Structure 1
Amino acid sequence: MKLVVVSAGLSSPSSTRLLADRLAAETLLHLRAEPEVIELRDLATEIARHLVTGFPPARLASALDAVAAADGLIAVTPVFAASYSGLFKSFFDLIDKDALTGKPVLLGATGGTPRHSLVTEHSLRPLFTYLRALVVPTSVYAASADWGDEGLAQRIARAGTELARFVTPASQDGVPDVDTTAAIAPRSLTGAITSVHPAHGFEVVPFEERLAALRVDH
């Protein structure tokens, strides 16, 4: 099983890479997978060349293939002008249009101010929805003031758990891992998801019960 992490941080070290690493570490607490990190800053020249020529150099082709073959994907970008970075967008512009279809994806972003905290919802989520990826419910934005805050740690833990549960795992003998079997639940639910519990998976209430409760309330 393969977990691919795409980091679009421009500096080294960077808060974007730090967030990507923490999201990956939390996911791997709940999922047996081999991680691979792709640093887009190292591929910037190759990305620009591919956009101009239409042919990817070997290193970039390998990165694109890794994303396409991943069982789960973590994608993290710094925020510029209230949106994802140009390098981040350029890389995903080069992904085959069907490569992310149905693929579980966890989104993250970093910025200097909390004012951009909704960038994951108004910029990142629509992009990956367009690519037909299966974006997990919790995305994580980390402002400079968030590092060391318990709230950020809780969001990272929740998001990593969700990604692990959305990836369909299998043990070496081909039997699904009991700890993460609930990952497939959202694809065949006949009720409403009311919560996600780290130990017990999704709590589902049949729609009939939800409707009955609403009628009583009104």
Structure 2
Amino acid sequence: MTKLLFVQASPRGTDSKSIEIADVYLKTLQAGDPRLEIDRLDLWDTNLPAFDGDKAAAKLNVILGNDQNAIQQTAWDQIVGIANRFISADRYLFAVPMWNGGIPYRLKQYIDIIHQPGLLFGLKPETGYFGLLENKQATLVLTSGAFAPTSPSPAFGVDHHSTYLRAWLNQAGISAIDEVRFQPTLLTSDAAADLERAKQDAVRLAQGHVRNQTVNAGAI
């Protein structure tokens, strides 16, 4: 059975366009694969601990191969518990609005907690970072008020949004990444039509994923 982790980075709930589009993608995916297991992670309704000095020390100890003291071990155990939920998924769906050219701080906090040595990545002094997650796929649903890839930058914003997410996922070992964009959501003459196009893009993407999964399953 395939497990999908749906990470919701917007605090706006049913008013969020990124979540609305992601739900369309998810419903299409579920229609094609009723056995799909869904784990919804609302980052604004989840207790995320501060990545404080104890957790930073624990991370460094792992990198250097040092022993943890009791406080650091407790901090590391908390990190591992949160990260394991992410690691256990086969697929990821992210609903992420653009905030000030980047991602919402709640998502950044989550990434800072789970992106750890020995869990999502390794580091070799000779060659650099390498990812530890294998055979996983991520879909990004991206929205922004003024920024669009076709708009002049930086006048209408700079994309530290999709670029950051892709770089992070790549470092964790995830290279199969696709996306659906509704950009811009504000500076458009017909927001409703643009939203509908984004939803149709989500449907087509999900249908393609179902077809690919069917073909791969038949090849086993």
TM-score range, shorter chain: 0.5 to 0.7
Q: Give CA-to-partner distance per residue, 1:118-154, whole Å, 9 cap, x none.
A: 6665332222112111423x30112425545442123
CA distance in structure 1 between the aligned counterparts of 2:179 and 2:218, rounded to whole angstroms: 19
CA distance in structure 2 between the aligned counterparts of 1:12 and 1:57, rounded to whole angstroms: 30
Q: Secondary structure at the match of 2:50?
A: helix
Which residue matches 1:78? 97
Q: Secondary structure at the match of 2:13?
A: coil
Which residue matches 1:40? 43
Which residue matches 1:155? 201
Which residue matches 2:180? 140
Amino acid in the other structure paired with 2:8: S
Which residue matches 2:63? none
Q: Is the 8 A contact 2:136 2:174 kept in 1?
A: yes
Q: Is the 8 A contact 2:22 2:202 kept in 1?
A: no
**What is the aligned length?**
169
Q: Give CA-to-partner distance per residue, 1:61-83, whole Å, 9 cap, x none.
A: 76533321112111121101222
Q: Secondary structure at the match of 2:98?
A: strand
Which residue matches 2:26? 24
Amino acid in the other structure paired with 2:39: E
Q: Is the 8 A contact 2:90 2:135 kept in 1?
A: no
CA distance in structure 1 between the aligned counterparts of 2:111 and 2:201, rounded to whole angstroms: 25
Q: Does 1:105 align with 2:99?
A: no
Q: Does 1:66 align with 2:85?
A: yes
Q: Is the 8 A contact 2:25 2:199 kept in 1?
A: no
What's the CA shift for 1:9?
0.7
- Structure-2 change in CA distance of 1:73 and 1:38 (3 Å): same
Amino acid in the other structure paired with 2:140: L
Q: Secondary structure at the match of 2:32?
A: coil
Gaps of at least 5 residues in structure 1 are: 169-179, 186-218
Which residue matches 1:123? 164
Q: Percent identity?
A: 20
Which residue matches 1:91? 110
What's the CA shift for 1:41?
0.8
Q: Does 1:182 align with 2:216?
A: yes
Q: Is the 8 A contact 2:97 2:142 kept in 1?
A: yes
CA distance in structure 2 between the aligned counterparts of 1:139 and 1:28, rounded to whole angstroms: 18
CA distance in structure 2 between the aligned counterparts of 1:84 and 1:181, rounded to whole angstroms: 35
Q: Give CA-to-partner distance per residue, 1:33-62, whole Å, 9 cap, x none.
A: 12121000112xx3242445423797x876
Coordinate RMSD, CA, aligned:
3.2
1:170-209 map, 5 Å? 180-182=214-216
Which residue matches 1:204? none
Q: Is the 8 A contact 1:50 1:56 kept in 2?
A: no
Q: Is the 8 A contact 2:87 2:133 kept in 1?
A: yes
Q: Secondary structure at the match of 1:84?
A: coil
